[in-house]
A and B are shown apart, each in its own frame.
Chain A
Amino acid sequence: MTTLLIAEHDHETLKDSTNKALTAASQLGGDVHVLVAGGGQGTKAAAEAAAKLAGVSKVLVAEGPAYEHDLAEPLAALIVALAPGYDAFVAPATSRFKNVMPRVAALLDVMQVSEIIKVVAPDTYERPIYAGNAIQTVKSKDAKKVITVRTSTFAAAGEGGSAAIENAASAADPGLSTFVGEEVAKSDRPELTSAKIIVSGGRAMQSRENFAKYIEPLADKLGAGVGASRAAVDAGYAPNDWQVGQTGKVVAPELYVAVGISGAIQHLAGMKDSKVIVAINKDEDAPIFQVADYGLVADLYQAVPELTEALVR
């Protein structure tokens, strides 16, 4: 059995989600090849990083303008062109692969298994349903497997390999969509899906300014990533890529600090696997306290500055 792992990268560096999905791919038991598809110079560097990962036996590189902007159609066409040589296709469940992999699966006439959290056997996996309120064990009867991996539940594979790097056979770009532009927040803070600590704010923040004044300084003091509830994002207090939850990002940091967040099931779905959860909320009956290891019933506008201050010393 040979598995093709499709790498997540930003066209410069390989993303940590690739290392985590590699752990899942290795657990399927066969050889693991990694596909790095991207545009421009950085693709090579990402491929070289992939070749160093432990457990990778070959790296395929596809470089070209069609892969520069993560468009679904050309990347799906490429993976399908490579499909005859593989028994399983694995990718981290990032927005890029949530977009691409079902397209691959349908073209291969395979039912995808989304966001697995455990490999039970090469054809059997666990995945959460109903916002994580139930865990399903499913067995795939398809000849080829198409799998996305919830990276928060797999440890990152380390270095130690020295795989050969080859060019991937090219595939024609169907030319159905074109890139127009993007607004990507550049930030020095750690990314949510790999941050060790996350500080999240909810509707109680009341404004973008308060996020900057209360949440961000605390996050920066802790070297943390910044998250938000859907209510805070919908209200415009925080950008969409900060949303944690069933329909946002799923995170499992060492420490998750929920500030002014009530703890709706859709929010809990995105953070309840965090190692330690701290909740600051003025309502002592807020559901967030049912999952918090440490709860502080307090007005955030007092408690957060105090906490930020306490961390200086």
Chain B
Amino acid sequence: MKVLVPVKRVVDYNVKVRVKSDGTGVELANVKMSMNPFDEIAVEEALRLKEAGKATEVVVVSIGPAQASETIRTALAMGADRGILVKAEGNVEPLAVAKILKAVVEAEQPGLVILGKQAIDDDSNQTGQMLAALLGWSQATFASKLEVEGSDFKVTREVDGGLQTIKLKGPAIVTTDLRLNEPRYASLPNIMKAKKKPIDDKSVADYGVDVTPRLEVLKTAEPAGRKAGVKVKDVAELVNKLKTEAGVL
């Protein structure tokens, strides 16, 4: 079974983004970019399936600017076998990403696609579910445990009330939650090896997908700020303030 893992290049999670003063977006010049943390978890899970003899090949794909190849290299250094870069400039919405991924899936014929549950930049939490819909495949979002059962899958999901376990008919779409695994760091020899692994260069045009955005971003603004309050000296003062000043007790 081949496993396909879409990986997205996003602003590193340690960066506190700033809104551009003209309201056209957030400041992305010279900020550190990394692989979306949920996608690292997806790559790790695919690699574990391969190491357990359940997967034969791990292919990573990224849709984005030329620099997204760095994100693919990161996945290759972790141990993925090969990459596909679908070059796209500007705004590619989850629906368009899902349409491109559908075309990639049709060409690659994986038995499983593992995505992150959300990208930490747009926080949309859509792409995997949309891909499953377009392919007519089963889906399990927010996975905290994944087991292969022949060509089917058993997945435990993190839901609002606790945990839910479902069985998926393969081929299937799984999206990762934080506690699925802890991604490995790439070792230096593996980083060197990754440089020789193949990355297929594609463009959106190769897949004939219309990526015209459906959402028009009218403006991007700072959220309403919150000012630091006061420090209280002890528990008694805290209780007093909560009762008399804040009125919440």
Q: Provide the bound-state CA to CA distance between A184 and B161, in Å.
A: 5
In the complex, A254 has a CB within 8 A of chain B: yes
Q: Are B248 and A177 in contact (CB under 8 A)?
A: no
Q: Provide the bound-state CA to CA distance between A139 and B223, in Å.
A: 18
Q: Are A142 and B214 in contact (CB under 8 A)?
A: yes
Which of the candidate stretches A70-78, A164-172, A200-208 sits at the interface with the other chain? A70-78
Q: Are B229 and A295 in contact (CB under 8 A)?
A: yes
Given contact pairs A176-B137, A178-B167, A141 touches B162 in the complex (Cβ within 8 A):
no
Q: Provide the bound-state CA to CA distance between A266 and B16, in Å.
A: 10
Q: Provide the bound-state CA to CA distance between A266 and B121, in Å.
A: 12
B48: chain A residues at CB < 8 Å are none
B122: chain A residues at CB < 8 Å are 129
Q: Are A103 and B223 in contact (CB under 8 A)?
A: no
Given contact pairs A114-B126, A130-B17, A247 touches B178 in the complex (Cβ within 8 A):
yes
Given contact pairs A69-B164, A307-B238, A233 touches B179 in the complex (Cβ within 8 A):
yes
B98: chain A residues at CB < 8 Å are 106
A188: chain B residues at CB < 8 Å are none
In the complex, B112 has a CB within 8 A of chain A: no
The distance from the CB of A59 to the nearest CB of chain B, in whole angstroms, is 23
In the complex, B232 has a CB within 8 A of chain A: yes
Q: Are B141 and A98 in contact (CB under 8 A)?
A: yes
The distance from the CB of B55 to the nearest CB of chain A, in whole angstroms, is 21
Q: Provide the bound-state CA to CA distance between A180 and B168, in Å.
A: 10
Proximity string of chain B (204-223) to chain A, C-beta cutoff 8 Å, 1 when within and 0 when not: 00000000011111111111
In the complex, A42 has a CB within 8 A of chain B: no
Q: Are B169 and A138 in contact (CB under 8 A)?
A: no
B126: chain A residues at CB < 8 Å are 102, 105, 112, 114
Which of the candidate stretches B71-79, B82-90, B128-136, B191-199 sits at the interface with the other chain? B128-136
Q: Provide the bound-state CA to CA distance between A276 and B229, in Å.
A: 10
Q: Are A103 and B133 in contact (CB under 8 A)?
A: yes
Q: Are B129 and A102 in contact (CB under 8 A)?
A: yes
Question: Which residue of the partner chain B has the closest CB to A124?
Answer: B218
In the complex, A275 has a CB within 8 A of chain B: yes
Q: Which of A107-152 contact B (CB under 8 A)?
A: 107, 109-115, 124, 128-142
Proximity string of chain A (70-99) to chain B, C-beta cutoff 8 Å, 1 when within and 0 when not: 111100100000000000000000111011
In the complex, A230 has a CB within 8 A of chain B: yes
Q: Which of A209-267 contact B (CB under 8 A)?
A: 222, 230, 233-234, 239-241, 246-247, 249, 254-255, 265-266
Residue among A69, A72, A124, A266 making CB contact with B139, cutoff 8 Å: A72
Question: Which residue of the partner chain B has the closest CB to A77?
Answer: B133
A115: chain B residues at CB < 8 Å are 123
Q: Are A290 and B228 in contact (CB under 8 A)?
A: yes
In the complex, B103 has a CB within 8 A of chain A: no
Q: Are B136 and A72 in contact (CB under 8 A)?
A: no
The distance from the CB of A312 to the nearest CB of chain B, in whole angstroms, is 11
Number of A-B contacts (CB under 8 A): 255
Q: Are B158 and A95 in contact (CB under 8 A)?
A: yes
Q: Are B164 and A136 in contact (CB under 8 A)?
A: no
Q: Provide the bound-state CA to CA distance between A98 and B13, in Å.
A: 22
Q: Are B162 and A182 in contact (CB under 8 A)?
A: yes
Q: Provide the bound-state CA to CA distance between A76 and B138, in Å.
A: 12
The distance from the CB of A275 to the nearest CB of chain B, in whole angstroms, is 7
Q: Are B124 and A180 in contact (CB under 8 A)?
A: no
B167: chain A residues at CB < 8 Å are 177-180
Question: Which residue of the partner chain B has the closest CB to A178?
Answer: B167
Q: Provide the bound-state CA to CA distance between A264 and B236, in Å.
A: 28
Q: Provide the bound-state CA to CA distance between A141 and B215, in Å.
A: 6
Q: Are B226 and A183 in contact (CB under 8 A)?
A: no
In the complex, B234 has a CB within 8 A of chain A: yes
Q: Are A130 and B26 in contact (CB under 8 A)?
A: yes
B219: chain A residues at CB < 8 Å are 136-137
Ranked nearest first, the 5 interchain pairs of A and B with the lowest CB-CB distance are: A176-B138, A293-B229, A102-B129, A111-B214, A106-B130
Residues of chain B having any CB pair with chain A under 8 Å? 11, 13, 16-19, 26, 93-95, 98, 117-118, 120-134, 136-142, 144, 154, 158-169, 177-179, 213-223, 226, 228-232, 234-236, 238-239, 241-242, 246, 248-249
8 A-B residue contacts at CB 8 Å? A73-B139, A111-B94, A130-B26, A240-B162, A272-B226, A293-B230, A294-B241, A296-B238
| Besides A136-B219, A193-B160, A197-B248, 18 other A-B contacts (C-beta < 8 A) | A70-B159, A106-B98, A113-B215, A114-B124, A130-B17, A133-B17, A135-B220, A137-B220, A175-B169, A176-B139, A181-B164, A184-B163, A239-B162, A240-B162, A276-B246, A295-B231, A296-B231, A298-B235
